[in-house]
Structure 1
Amino acid sequence: MEKLQCRQVRSLFFLVIMFVFIRIGEAQSQSFLINCGANSSVNIDGRKWVGDLVRNSNVSFSSTGMAASTDSLSGDSIYEPIYKSARIFKDGLNYTVEVIPGNYIVRLHFCPIPLEDLNVNDSLFGAAANGLKLLSQLSVPGEIAHKNLYLQSSGENASSLSLIKEYVLGIKLDVLVIELIPSEGSFGFINAIEVVPVVDRLFEDTIQKVAGNDMDFNLSGRGIETMYRLNVGGPEIKPSQDSDLWRMWEVDSSYMITANAGVEIRNSSNITYASMNDSSLAPLLVYETARTMSNTEVLEKRFNMSWKFEVDPDFDYVVRLHFCELLYDSANERIFKIYINNRTAANTFDVFARAGGRNRAYHQDYFDAVSSKTYTLWIQLGPDTAAGASGTDALLSGLEIFKLSRNGNLAYVEKYDSAGNSVSRSKSWILWVGIGAGIASAVILAAVFTLVFYIRKNRRDKSSDMKNNSPGWRPLFLHKGIVNSTANAKGTGSQNPNGSTSSTRSGKRFTLAEIRCATNNFDESLVIGVGGFGKVYKGEIEDGSLAAIKRANPQSEQGLAEFETEIEMLSRLRHRHLVSLIGFCEEQNEMILVYEYMANGTLRSHLFGSDLPPLTWKQRLDVCIGAARGLHYLHTGAEQGIIHRDIKTTNILLDENFVAKMSDFGLSKTGPSMEHTHVSTAVKGSFGYLDPEYFRRQQLTEKSDVYSFGVVLFEVVCARAVINPTLPKDQINLAEWAMKWQRQRSLETIIDPHLKGNLSLESLEKFGEIAEKCLDDERKNRPTMGEVLWHLEYVLQLQEAWMHANDRENSFSGCQALAEVEEEREIRNGKEVPTLDEEKSK
């Protein structure tokens, strides 16, 4: 019996393994090649590029924009067939691709073509993918011209007429939405989009920092842009020669400071990967050639091979170096140093020892942060004479540079003129010259004033000097009570050089008398809400406008810290989907906040527990999208981002037009800095919405907000409390109960009865999938708020399409019925036939 059970377990295990491999195979084969602006397909190197006008169940685009084409192109790009067409857009243009969640390489192809009534040199636009900003104010002709100038300055005969932007994206949901956004008053264009799945992992989270130790940078959670990819010491490698991922590998000579500093070598013997996990990182062709140092005996053996690259300032970068020892048969024969931006990245680097032998392909990654004033990245390899190697040499086979996103952004605005010259950098140079001249003038003036000061000091009256240095004097900002009491009653608050929250306050400082007048002395009939902070009153302030006035309860658990946090956050945050702070009052131990009035109250009041009419499915989606936009702004609008920490349906307010706005920022926290992955803090929030990983580890991240928002999504569709002890045990917790049905793909079983028959089941299915992703136990698997936002907008599109189809069908049915009645009336041989209205009255 036990043997039979073991066989059954083994059989089940093998079936699971086979299923996983089948899914991997499906993902690996499912590439999407979109020929924009075309109504037919084109084959290039055995790959089929499908026109975006060709019906495709997996790819769709918004109906904005127009197609353009040309008969011929100059240049010899392998992509010439797909560059003859393009899609032009003056408004936002979205491409939606249904994918299997995973990692993908996304390439955007741009090639300027002649356009009617438009000058392609005037185009300026941006791009985003699932909420991640990829491009901003891109001028394709300007960037192409600039690259050609850069390569020509190195002696390269450059004639590139196209631009390819490549990104590595981790997609956690089953839809990739690429949005193209023209700059104000301008337009944009795109020729092709390439979406290629990556089965093997391209990046490890833990890599070595330049001049530092190995660190966890969570690369899988960040967007990545490929800046450079070079086949060092060898010819150009075309995409068809890198068949797994179809990458282009440039020659490296044009990026070298001294081209003859390294000599090219090659070895076509059987090269293998040092690790099978590296097989997708580069094709073996990269490792068959290399560049080693020439003239190694000159300049006291301090001569380096050097490459210089233009990069975007104020971003983090991963430098990937590819090696393969092609000559030596043992260790300690070629040992060298690696420098990145003039800092030592590695000493005593021995390729043979690290790779485990000759003809073994090996790579090494380094992490480096580039400052806001740095526009170049240098990579240098040179001999390590102190290592005792028999040969003083260095070797490199390939080189890649990747830019990492910061706060959901990969875009950098670099403006070029029509000749390809950088406008922003030239302005920056003029600015620095002006600053330098100003500093020099300031130094001269300071010297003059210092001389005058010392002369007058010697003549100064002693008693006056003692008075000015009396030990009783203190800076005014240290006397907090004096500052608060002497502040202008109608001003913007005190200025505190210590950087306390009072220095960042904005809005009116109300007197307690004004608050009492606005609320009829805190009339209980004006109470519109009660929360942890206290009661909220509907009031009318002096200009006649309505306001929501929140008065702290002295016994409230939320005290001064929450009061200050609320003012600080709302003083520096302005967004259509965040409730606005009008002002505050802090007289006579009162803590009162005055907000814009939200006529339709809380989202929860429209879901259950009141007599208000239920919201339609479209209204609920609009509210969720508005709240997601507000949260996405919180997470990405500030340098470090802001974590709300108390997302729930009572903190989502609706104005008179049912526009959703996030409120209650008393528990909000500034997000982690770039050096950290989380904020360590005590657990706060509302029971039922709390992220379990935050609860267990007391580690707060933006993904904690994502979890809470996932609970809100289920609350919206089910219209019930998140915790209801009166229900059966398995239904008490909404998140657990809804997830059980969602995993069975039967969410429609438990939705709000008011929604049944009034929503698209396809939109409900996608909605449930988003909520399920948000509630993943591990925060690294949850989407960002930007991704949630994009997919909610896709759900809304599905619902609107369904509504439109239903309206059209109902309209057609009504017209058909009318025609049938009229026809019957006419054929009744002259009898008085009742009209349609008379038939209905009968």
Structure 2
Amino acid sequence: MKILKWVSFVLVGFLFLIGSSSSFVPPDNYLIACGSSQNITFQTRSFVPDSQHSSLVLKSGDSVVASSNSSVPSPIYQSARIFTSRASYKFKIEQQGRHWLRLYFFPHLNSSHTLSSASFTVVTDNFVLLSNFTFRNYNGSYMFKEYAVNVTSDTLTLTFIPSNGSVTFVNAIEVVSMPNDLFVDQAFGLDPPSPFNGLSELALETVYRLNMGGPLLTAQNDTLGRTWVNDLKYLHVNSSVFNVSVNPASIKYPTTLTQDTAPNWVYATADVMGDANVANTNFNITWVFPVDPSFSYLVRVHLCDIMSKSLNSLVFNLYINSDLGLGSFDLSSLTGDLAVPYYKDFVSKASADSNTLSVSVGPDNMADNRNATMNGLEIMKISNELKSLDGLASVESLLPSSDSKASKIGIIVGSVVGSIIAIALVGLCCFCFVGRKSKTTQPGHSWLPLPLYGNSQTMTKMSTTSQKSGTASCISLASSNLGRFFNFQEILDATNKFDEKLLLGVGGFGRVYKGTLEDGTNVAVKRGNPRSEQGLAEFRTEIEMEQVNIAEWAMTWQKKGMLDQIMDQNLVGHVNPASLKKFGETAEKCLAEHGVDRPSMGDVLWNLEYALQLEETSSALMEPEDNSTNHITGIQLTPLEPFDNSVSMIDGGISGTDDDAEDVATSAVFSQIVNPRGR
């Protein structure tokens, strides 16, 4: 009966999708069948052979084609292109921005190579997607990978690198533009609760995408070609939910959302607590997912109240691991109506001492109707600091300079040398011509020299002697051996003649400007004020101090997790490691390169107070070290230890608006300061 119900809703949803399809048309839409000799239709889409696409360049030393008309999971895996050396696909990009990058792999059994034992790496221009992958360590006969990468140039290069003595292969590739607002730059971070910025500069890998209480959805039902699977296998207790569904046509998208966010029948089905086969009505619905603990994850929850009969009757809590994401959340008060879609983004890691990430919803203690719901869930791995989604290698370490690049450099060098010779000849002629003219005094720049020592002489009115000699009270730093010496013209060029738009600030020495050198290096340029309280001696001292960047040195130890190695020896053994770690994390955030990534003073004070509380309660809240175990793609759900379904609730009524959601999570963690034993 349930299957028939799903089929009916699939048919209705498909008809509705035709009538109200997305208005987004991807500027880039590459659907490539690698090694195929003809077009292949897969999920109502047509894939074109890689040898016949005009905007695609395939570069490889040697490649062969494998094909099979039987024993393949689906038509998209019928053919494959096999490379015996490093190879790349170069795609012309019409519009920069985020793109879906989807890869299909199936090791053909009848090929001349044993593809099931092949080991290879896959990278883009900036990100590592797969590192030394082999089907020998993969629990599955075929593999599909989906990534979201931000393309910032007019081309996208996808490179396949075989391991020593091995080969690499691929069956199909998709490179498809996505709407710019599908993923925004900021999400809400958990543990500790704070905004997470910079998502647009990172790559994402889809790990899980679930349709709660509903059937499998594919590109036939999704405007952006995504796949949504049923959530049953990830439920901690299968009998803890009750499925509800409505006609997909009844879903009312607000003006800020479209079916590109999620199909209407993701929102038309849901898991709820009501009538679940569980004796305790105060339980939580929990989904558990195996993850690689060495990465962070973007968790997007999709919610839509399709079960309530009136507004403000459904109030519940949402947890990611043991962190409160949404507290006393009144969905209908936020959306203003029933059956209106809503989503929220969080950033989290695996739960402590575990290789799993859990998501739970449960009733609010103060709610009259004790129920909770979830419609859809997406979990995406976030690239690490090496711009990798698999392993600890960067693109730079995997792609050394190629021969073609060397030849290009030779051409460039030859052109430059030729140009220099020509310029030299022209300059020689000009020199001979100018040499015939009498020498004239070159006008100087309108700036005053600095005093040798601060307050040693007032330079407002220079004496006649000083004006003549120019050495009575001033010295040069040219011979001070403090680094590169810049002439005044170079400084003028770097600061655009001290453009006030580049002014960074004003200090006791003078005004500070942002400058850009000829090689693109950003520098801070201090322009001395002859009327300041400081002179060249003070300036020399400041330069000498800048040679040692104590903050950068300390951060190298912090990133290694070894901050205790450089602490005062009198404090060794007397500082709680959890407190020291919190101090280090706070300092690291304060030193972020971009201002938007730095915490507010309120956040700093909060974290410092939290660290102090950790120190005062040295026996509580000890944080474990990160596990650096590499991610194993496609790992199956393993038997779990007994899991406590009744996550403790936080008392107190809290507003369910979106603006208050962050305050709710902050209050939840702030309770750890009030009560050191935490939740």
1:87 aligns with 2:81: yes
Of 360, 364, 379, the residue aligned with 1:401 is 379
Residue 159 of structure 2 corresponds to: 179
CA distance, structure 1, for counterparts of residue 205 and residue 165 of structure 2: 28
Of 195, 198, 204, the residue aligned with 2:184 is 204
Of 58, 62, 69, the residue aligned with 1:61 is 58
Measured after TM superposition, the shift of residue 230 of structure 1 is: 0.7
Q: Deviations over 1:279-302 (max 9, x none)?
A: 311111101100001556966543
Of 222, 242, 256, the residue aligned with 2:235 is 256
CA distance, structure 1, for counterparts of residue 108 and residue 32 of structure 2: 18
The verdict on how the C-alpha distance between 1:98 and 1:604 changes in structure 2, with shifts beyond 3 A counting, is: closer
Residue 367 of structure 1 corresponds to: 347
Residue 41 of structure 1 corresponds to: 39
SS in 2 for 1:260: helix
The verdict on how the C-alpha distance between 1:235 and 1:367 changes in structure 2, with shifts beyond 3 A counting, is: same
CA contact (8 A) 1:231 1:252 kept: yes
Measured after TM superposition, the shift of residue 47 of structure 1 is: 2.0
Measured after TM superposition, the shift of residue 44 of structure 1 is: 2.7
- Higher mean C-alpha displacement, 294-303 vs 374-383: 294-303
Measured after TM superposition, the shift of residue 181 of structure 1 is: 1.0
Residue 630 of structure 2 corresponds to: none
CA distance, structure 2, for counterparts of residue 779 and residue 62 of structure 1: 41
The verdict on how the C-alpha distance between 1:690 and 1:304 changes in structure 2, with shifts beyond 3 A counting, is: farther
CA distance, structure 1, for counterparts of residue 482 and residue 260 of structure 2: 46
The verdict on how the C-alpha distance between 1:144 and 1:705 changes in structure 2, with shifts beyond 3 A counting, is: farther
Residue pairs, 1:812-827, within 5 angstroms? none
Of 259, 280, 283, the residue aligned with 1:303 is 283
CA contact (8 A) 1:328 1:358 kept: yes
CA contact (8 A) 1:224 1:410 kept: no
CA distance, structure 2, for counterparts of residue 175 and residue 363 of structure 1: 32
Residue pairs, 1:624-639, within 5 angstroms? none
Residue 286 of structure 1 corresponds to: 266
Q: Which amino acid aligns with 1:312?
A: D
Residue 245 of structure 1 corresponds to: 224
Residue pairs, 1:297-446, within 5 angstroms? 301-370=281-350, 374-385=354-365, 388-413=366-391
User: Which sections of structure 2, spanning at least 5 residues, go unmatched?
Assistant: 1-21, 402-412, 426-480, 485-489, 506-513, 523-593, 597-679
CA distance, structure 1, for counterparts of residue 322 and residue 311 of structure 2: 27
Q: Deviations over 1:7-27 (max 9, x none)?
A: xxxxxxxxxxxxxxxxx9996
Compare relative contact order (CA 8 Å, sep 6+) and give the higher one, 1 or 2: 2
CA contact (8 A) 2:242 2:275 kept: no
Measured after TM superposition, the shift of residue 92 of structure 1 is: 1.0
Q: TM-score, normalised by structure 2?
A: 0.55
1:136 aligns with 2:136: no
Residue pairs, 1:600-639, within 5 angstroms? 606=417
CA distance, structure 1, for counterparts of residue 168 and residue 482 of structure 2: 39
CA distance, structure 2, for counterparts of residue 665 and residue 394 of structure 1: 66
1:74 aligns with 2:53: no
The verdict on how the C-alpha distance between 1:53 and 1:393 changes in structure 2, with shifts beyond 3 A counting, is: same
The verdict on how the C-alpha distance between 1:319 and 1:91 changes in structure 2, with shifts beyond 3 A counting, is: same
Q: Deviations over 1:682-709 (max 9, x none)?
A: xxx97646799995558xxxxx999965
User: Which sections of structure 1, spanning at least 5 residues, go unmatched?
Assistant: 1-23, 146-160, 415-572, 578-601, 615-663, 668-684, 699-703, 713-777, 781-842
CA distance, structure 1, for counterparts of residue 295 and residue 501 of structure 2: 28
The verdict on how the C-alpha distance between 1:25 and 1:393 changes in structure 2, with shifts beyond 3 A counting, is: closer
CA contact (8 A) 2:204 2:381 kept: yes
The verdict on how the C-alpha distance between 1:252 and 1:696 changes in structure 2, with shifts beyond 3 A counting, is: farther
Larger Cα Rg: Structure 1 or Structure 2? 1
1:232 aligns with 2:229: no
Q: Which amino acid aligns with 2:131?
A: S
The verdict on how the C-alpha distance between 1:260 and 1:173 changes in structure 2, with shifts beyond 3 A counting, is: same
1:97 aligns with 2:91: yes
CA contact (8 A) 1:43 1:49 kept: yes
SS in 1 for 2:239: helix
Measured after TM superposition, the shift of residue 274 of structure 1 is: 3.0
Residue 110 of structure 1 corresponds to: 105
CA distance, structure 2, for counterparts of residue 283 and residue 693 of structure 1: 50
Residue 189 of structure 1 corresponds to: 169
Q: Deviations over 1:579-606 (max 9, x none)?
A: xxxxxxxxxxxxxxxxxxxxxxx99995
The verdict on how the C-alpha distance between 1:302 and 1:372 changes in structure 2, with shifts beyond 3 A counting, is: closer
CA distance, structure 1, for counterparts of residue 419 and residue 375 of structure 2: 65
CA distance, structure 2, for counterparts of residue 380 and residue 308 of structure 1: 9
CA distance, structure 2, for counterparts of residue 666 and residue 399 of structure 1: 55
Residue pairs, 1:565-714, within 5 angstroms? 606=417, 688=493, 695=502
Measured after TM superposition, the shift of residue 343 of structure 1 is: 1.7
SS in 2 for 1:82: helix
- Higher mean C-alpha displacement, 66-75 vs 222-231: 66-75
SS in 1 for 2:215: coil
CA RMSD of aligned residues (A): 4.0
Q: Which amino acid aligns with 1:390?
A: D
Q: TM-score, normalised by structure 1?
A: 0.45
CA distance, structure 2, for counterparts of residue 665 and residue 116 of structure 1: 64
CA distance, structure 1, for counterparts of residue 33 and residue 518 of structure 2: 40
CA contact (8 A) 2:66 2:82 kept: no
Q: Which amino acid aligns with 2:39?
A: S
SS in 1 for 2:292: coil
CA contact (8 A) 1:320 1:401 kept: yes
Q: Which amino acid aligns with 2:91?
A: V
Measured after TM superposition, the shift of residue 396 of structure 1 is: 0.4
CA distance, structure 1, for counterparts of residue 184 and residue 359 of structure 2: 21
The verdict on how the C-alpha distance between 1:62 and 1:283 changes in structure 2, with shifts beyond 3 A counting, is: same
Q: Which amino acid aligns with 2:271?
A: R
Measured after TM superposition, the shift of residue 197 of structure 1 is: 0.9
CA contact (8 A) 1:128 1:180 kept: yes
Query: Identity of counterpart residues, as a percentage?
Result: 28
Q: Which amino acid aligns with 1:90?
A: T
SS in 2 for 1:97: strand
